[in-house]
Amino acid sequence: MEIMKKESGTIVSPKGFKVGGLHSGVKRKKKDLGILYSEVPAQAAAVYTLNKVKAEPIKLTQKSLSKDGIIQAVIINSGNANACTGKQGMYDAIKMQEETAKKLNIEKDHVAVASTGIIGMEMPMDKIIPHISKLEITKTKEASLDFGEAILTTDTFIKSVSFETEIDGKKVIMSGAAKGSGMIEPKMGTMLSFITTDANIEADILDKALKDIVNQTYNCITVDGDTSTNDMVLVMANGEAENNLLTENHPEWEKFTELLKRTSEELSKMIARDGEGASKLIEVTVKGANMVTDARKVAKSVVGSSLVKTAVFGTDANWGRVIVAIGYSGVEIDPAQIDLTIGGIQLLEKSEPVTYSEELAKKYLEEEEVINIDINLNQGSHSGKAWGCDLTYDYVRINASYRS
């Protein structure tokens, strides 16, 4: 069985996972408190923001996960990031962890805590704590939607994906739910991603796989170049599929890593597509690089360029902006050997302008929701991708009034 997308799958499609979400009052109307639970302790791995200013929940989760590599539940709130809140912020994160552990009758250090929202504001614990006990945890599609909504901030849609495959003759499912819209410059951005799987794998092996996949997916998206204090990708694997223990020597190891890559890539693209005020997803593919890291770096430079992003919004096939972003990417290139196409329309060949129909290019940029920019450096055999979005008037409007 190859890897198949489960069109009706949710974060609880893997065996043994349940979720819940509700409105606690942190936000005015929308759901703002979510919980993810595995019926058995799960092997876990996480990657966190590289911003030196980390939110208190991130610090707490890092500390808890480092003890034995096990997470059985995650408690998440939106509307308040619990970042730059000092000793009180850590106390509040610990209180959320303790209340969740008490509710589920599990070890405190087996609860991860995540928060997202406004930075620098004290947590409204009088609203959060009483509602943790009120969270209904089930395996229904409705509960998955409640959870998906509860983790959002300025997002315009719930981000969820699910895949299944067969390993050792056992059906293995992997699903993910994420939030992310602005302040997205992974390393990582205002992005939370939770991945569940019933695969049987140990935490240290999962950790290695996740770090590699993050570099190919989440670290290849950008919305606005800002790196948040709260980003986290967390994977929980509870072993309920009962496949043989996965290691790098397992005959179907590559199938598992591809499962993780496809789940992460789909969530990454959803996050990029939902950039604050965005109207289009931009996918940049770079070929002919000397190294994979070079290809990704060039792609990220182009997709992160404010001038490229505004050109896409303005439906202007301004290839000059793309070539400039390639040039300042920091990668050693031959500036006389670059091929460039947008939507299959060739604009440069060996860095020489090609006669093309501007009318056709404009039509492509106007009509398509996914804008493909393809670059060939003609130097090596490696390739890479990056994803982003256009930069619109609404981005300024949304961020100018974020606290109001």
Instruction: Report the alpha-carbon distance of residue 119 to residue 105 in Å, rounded.
Output: 31
Q: Which helix (H) or strand (E) holds 268?
A: helix 253-273
CA 223: distance to chain centroid?
A: 12
Do residues 388 and 268 lie in contact, with contact meaning Cβ atoms separated by under 8 Å? Answer: no
Catalytic residue among 49, 116, 165, 190: 190
Q: Both tokens of residue 36?
A: 């993810």
Where do we find the tokens 């890291």? Answer: 293
Nearest to 388 by CA among 322, 323, 289: 322
Angle of helix 319-327 relative to helix 306-313, nearest 10 degrees, comes to 160
**DSSP state, residue 245:** P
- Respond yes or no: is residue 190 known to be catalytic: yes
Structure tokens given for 32: 């703002």
CA distance 327 to 332: 9
Copy the structure tokens of residue 210: 């996740």
Whether 165 contacts 2, CB under 8 Å? yes
**Can you tell me the distance from the alpha carbon of 95 to that of 131, in angstroms, rounded to the nearest whole number?**
13
Residues 6+ apart with CB under 8 A from 290: 332, 379, 380, 382
Which segments within 27-169 are labelled E, that is strand? 33-48, 70-80, 111-118, 159-167
- The tokens for 130 are 């009483």
Contact 226, 391 (CB under 8 A): no
Helix (H, G, I), strand (E, B) or coil at 191: strand
The runs of H, that is alpha helices, within 169-279 are 203-216, 253-273
Identify the CA nearest to 181 among candidates 147, 224, 145: 224
Instruction: Give whole-number Cα distances, 394 to 251, 271, 276, 367, in Å.
Output: 49, 17, 7, 19
Segments of 198-274 assigned E as strands: 232-237
Active site residues: 190
